[in-house]
Amino acid sequence: MDLNFNKNEDHNKLLVSELKNRLAKVKLGGGQKRIDKQHEQGKLTARERIAYLLDEKKPSIEIGAFAGDGMYEEHGGAPGGGVVVKIGYVKGKQCIVVANDATVKAGAWFPITAKKNLRAQEISIENRLPIIYLVDSAGVYLPMQDEIFPDKEHFGRIFRNNAVMSSMGITQIAAVMGSCVAGGAYLPIMSDEALIVDKTGSIFLAGSYLVKAAIGESIDNEELGGATTHCEVSGVTDYKAKDDKDALDKIKNIVSKIGDYNKAGFNREKAVKPKEKQEDIYGIIPKSRAEQYDMREIIKRLVDDSGFEEYKEGYGQTILTGYARIDGWAVGIVANQRTLVKTTKAKTKPSEMQFGGVIYSDSADKATRFIANCNQKKIPLVFLQDVTGFMVGSKSEHGGIIKDGAKMVNAVSNSVVPKFTIIIGNSYGAGNYAMCGKAYDPRLIVAWPSAELAVMSGNSAAKVLLQIETASLKKQGKEITEEDETELYNKIKERYDRQISPYFAASRIWTDAVIDPLDTRKWISMGIEAANHAPIEKAFNLGVIQV
């Protein structure tokens, strides 16, 4: 191992350590005092409920752990967006579980809470996965009601999705394990089956204080909307549980009886671990995002037996395409190559160098053809992003880079096989789009701690913004010294660097998670298993493209 490898390894292991520390903080939710209060009330926390419900010896992945990170500070913050979402197994069946975290503002809904819940439902819909709601929420966070209540992708969309999912035959089970008030009361009752925990669970459109104020009726919350009322009088709920564990046991029993699903039929063989040492990834990914490295070395450490059958190896070399297996599943890999490569356009032309991480016309053309092949063969696609964008300049423009880039974007957009995106390093500009960014409906999209998401790099953006800022100040008659420029540049770059962090993206659910690179195989494998629940019903069609 060389010195550079060791420096990279130290840097990336520190990033993973930071990731684990951040996750540990998120898992505390609203803090230990509020966790203790939950226990005093005889209730488990959201994470304890999920842990009890999911099969202990089976893997699980968490969606949106960093949702709300650094947001709503003026309101006291919303760790995890006040809700925990995991994909795991209940009695051997893959499910998605959504649990309100009552330690965060009593489980109240912030704007990001709605976005995270909608993402959970989107995953359920795309993959036909059963979904389980563990409800314990005070409803909409009123100081921000204007940002969560009326729009298409706001709170009401969740109930609309409940209805649509039911019509699609997607199993929905809800357990009311605490408060369930106002509009939020519709979520469990629009599910297929609803449970309620005695004495701690309650459902009503308006609580006792509001009822007294509105119509003058005096009644306590338990009589108004407790477990006995809704299981024996109103018939709103289907099962009464004596405590949290009893409710979760009942859910397990219900799920255990769900019939098998129609499979998409993705190819899978017995899983084999990579031959190459996976931990070497830490030493391969460079500390500086400007440095080069060979993406093939990363692929060898992600795929079964380190086997990668490359497609068009000598053509369009700034994108690697090829077939492999991950945890037994057949996959097609589209990856940005980050080394300088030699290419010869024709026998009469000398070899020239292409920059790594840049998409050229030939690499876009190759990727388009490969994506079409995977769709024809019903092979899921895995995108490994480390892209600075498309090549610019007169040579590329005259060569039709926009046309070739558009073909690749077209293929990604119209792909009918499931897509999974791993952001390893840079994810800049239109390169993010062509390599299946969030806007292109990957089934799951995650980032490594080394990732950066932005229109352009921090240095480039800061220089552009600095030019605009100094020009504006000079127009106002202000004299700008070299020291002023340096100070302004550093201020702009600091702000921009904060925005390109993978945690900034994860907090806004532009990605589903920031993960340890060594968890990548698990995420892709569980993602394909989820996608296998949903048979492909649409033929691949590129539509109209410029040839």
pLDDT score, position 73: 92
Q: Is 383 in contact with 335 (CB distance < 8 Å)?
A: yes
Give the ranges where 203-355 is alpha helix by DSSP (H).
208-215, 221-225, 227-228, 244-256, 281-284, 295-300
- Bridge-based pairing state of the strands 83-90 and 61-63: antiparallel
Q: CB neighbours (10 Å) of residue 108?
A: 23
Record the tokens describing residue 169, joined without a space: 């035959």
Structure tokens at 82: 């006040």
Q: Which helix (H) or strand (E) holds 325?
A: strand 319-326
Structure tokens at 1: 């191992």
Give per-residue pLDDT as tens, 289-334. 888 999 999 999 999 999 999 999 999 999 999 999 999 999 999 9
B/e letters for 296-326, b = 16+ CB within 10 Å, e = fewer, are: bbbbbbbbbebebeebbeeebbbbbbbbbbb
Q: Is 13 left (phi over 0), alpha (psi -120 to 50) or beta?
A: alpha
Relative orientation angle of helices 111-127 and 156-167, to the nearest 10 degrees: 10
Backbone angles phi, psi at 390, to 5 degrees: -90, 150
Backbone angles phi, psi at 365, to 5 degrees: -65, -45
Q: Which two tokens stand for residue 132?
A: 């389980």
Q: Which residues pair with 268 in a beta bridge?
A: 329
Closest residue by Cα to residue 295 from 281, 307, 305: 281
Dump strand ranges (E) for 417-507.
419-428, 444-447, 452-454
The residue assigned the tokens 């892209």 is 387
- In order, the DSSP letters of 164-187 are HHHHTT--EEEEEEEEEEGGGGHH
CA distance 227 to 112: 30
Q: How many CA atoms lie within 13 A of 173 on its CB side?
A: 23
Q: Which long-range contacts (CB under 8 A, 24 or more apart) does 231-234 make?
A: 231/196
H or E element in which residue 239 lies: strand 239-241
User: Closest Cα to residue 48, out of 202, 253, 247?
Assistant: 247
The reported pLDDT for the residue numbered 345 is 59
Contacting residues for 523 by C-beta, under 8 A, at least 6 apart: 61, 420, 422, 444, 446, 513, 515
Query: Which residues on neighbouring strands pair with residue 444, listed in sequence order?
Result: 420
Strands (E), 50-192: 61-63, 83-90, 93-100, 131-137, 172-181
Angle between helices 111-127 and 520-531 (to 10 degrees): 60
Report phi then psi at 360, rounded to 5. Answer: -100, 170
Lookup result for tokens 């564990």: 245
Per-residue pLDDT of the chain (547 residues; tens, 9 = 90+): 589 999 999 999 999 999 999 999 999 999 999 999 999 999 999 999 999 999 999 999 999 999 999 999 999 999 999 999 999 999 999 999 999 999 999 898 999 999 999 999 999 999 999 999 999 998 888 788 888 888 888 888 999 999 999 999 999 999 999 988 876 777 888 999 999 999 999 998 877 778 888 888 888 888 888 889 999 999 999 999 999 999 999 999 999 999 999 999 999 999 999 999 999 999 999 998 888 999 999 999 999 999 999 999 999 999 999 999 999 999 999 999 988 777 765 444 545 667 778 999 999 999 999 999 999 999 999 999 999 888 777 777 767 788 888 999 999 999 999 999 999 999 998 899 999 999 999 999 999 999 999 877 667 777 777 788 787 877 888 887 888 778 888 888 888 788 899 999 999 999 999 999 999 999 999 999 999 999 999 999 887 776 6
Q: Are strands 352-354 and 341-343 parallel, antiparallel or unpaired?
A: antiparallel
* Torsion angles phi and psi, residue 122, rounded to 5: -60, -45
Determine how many CB atoms are found less than 10 A away from the CB of residue 401.
19
DSSP structure class, residue 526: H
As beta bridge partners, residue 513 has 446
CA distance 254 to 248: 10
Instruction: Quote the CA–CA distance of 434 and 414 in Å, as a whole number.
Output: 12
* Cβ atoms 84, 63 nearer than 8 A: no
With beta carbons less than 8 A apart as the criterion, state whether 123 and 87 touch.
Answer: yes
Phi, psi for residue 273 in degrees, rounded to 5: -70, 155
**DSSP-based three-state secondary structure for 368:** helix
Q: How far apart are CA 161 and CA 154, in angstroms?
A: 11
pLDDT at 390: 84
- What are the tens digits of pLDDT across the range 171-198? 999 999 998 887 677 788 899 999 999 9
